[in-house]
Amino acid sequence: MFKRIWRARSGYLFILPKFVLFTIFVLIPIIWSVFVSFQEYKVFGTEWVGLRNFQDVLYDDLFWTAVGNTLRYAVVVMPSSVIIALVLASLINPLKRGAQTFFRASFYLPTVASSVVISMVWRWIFQTRFGIANYFLSLFGAEPINWLHSSAWALRSVIIMAVLTPPGMGIILYLAAMASIPESLYEAATIDGANRFVQWWKITLPLLKPTTLYLMIVSTIGSFQVFDQVMLMTQGGPGYATTTIVHRIYNVAFRDFQFGYAGAMSMFLFAAIITLALIQSKVLSSDVEYKG
C-alpha cells in the first residue's frame, strides 16, 4: 500500500493544497459542530449539556416555521431546476456544434456570477415602485405587488427567482450524458418507426437516470441550504415568512451566540438531507449499461 502511494506521490502532492483547505475549512468545522451541539458553548469555558440542545430544538416554534418555509421552497425549486435543465438540454442537443456551444455558454454564465450579485438584481426587479416586475404587471392593468415586504408574496418571490435562474450545471451535465448515448440505439428505433418524442421517452430519458439522480440530490442539498438569497432579499422577513433553516441557524449562532443550539439545529438539517438523499437514491438508482 505504501509503495503504491509513494509511486503516485506526484498526484497526491497536487491534491494536497486542496485537501488541506478542505480539512481546515470544511472537515474540522463539521466535527467541531458535532461536539458543540452537546454543549452550551461559551467563549470562556463550555458546559456539557448532553441532549438538551436537541430537546430544545424540538420545541422551538421558529425552527419548525423555518422547516416549513424550507420545505415549501425545496418542493418547488428542486424538481423545477431538474425538469428545466432536462427540457433545455433536450432542445439544445439536436443543434449543430456551434449553436450548442453558444447555448452552453449562455446558460452556464449565470452560474459563474456570485449569488450575491444575482440576488441584488432580483431585489431590484421586485422593487415595489420602480421594479420591472410591477412595470410589466401595469401593462396588463394589474395592481402592483409588494413582492418582498408582503408575508403572502415574500417566499414566492424567492422561489420565482430560484426557478427563473438558469440551471447551467444541470444543462451541461445532461448534454454530456446525452452525447454519450450510442447513436445506434436511435437508428434502431427509427427503423422500427419510433418518432423523435418516442425515442426521447423510451431511450434518452431512461438512460439519463444516473444524471437525474445526481442532479436531484445536489438540488435537494442546495434547496435545503438556501441562505444567500433570503439574507439579501428579505432578511428572513416580513416577520418570519422567509426564514429558512440555514437562516435560523445563522441568526442563533452569530446574532444570539448560542453556538451549541445552532449546532444541534445543523445536525437536524444534516440528518434530513442524508435521509432525503438515501430515499432518492433508492427510488431512482438503476444500473445503466449499453454498448456502442
pLDDT in tens, 118-169: 999 999 999 988 899 999 999 998 889 999 999 999 999 999 999 998 899 9
Please give the C-alpha separations between residue 52 and each of 110, 146, 264, in angstroms, as whole numbers.
43, 41, 9
Strands (E), the chain: 39-40, 47-48
Indicate the pTM of the whole model. Answer: 0.88
pLDDT, tens digit (0-9, with 9 covering 90-100), for 246-272: 999 999 998 888 899 999 999 999 999
What are the residue ranges spanned by the domains of the chain? 37-123+156-284
| pLDDT of 292 above 50 | no
Task: Quote the CA–CA distance of 217 and 225 in Å, as a whole number.
Answer: 12
Task: Quote the CA–CA distance of 88 and 78 in Å, as a whole number.
Answer: 16
Task: Quote the CA–CA distance of 32 and 39 in Å, as a whole number.
Answer: 11
Fold observed for domain 37-123+156-284: MetI-like fold (1.10.3720)
Under 8 Å CB-to-CB from 206, ≥6 apart: which residues? 288
Cell triple for 73: 421552497
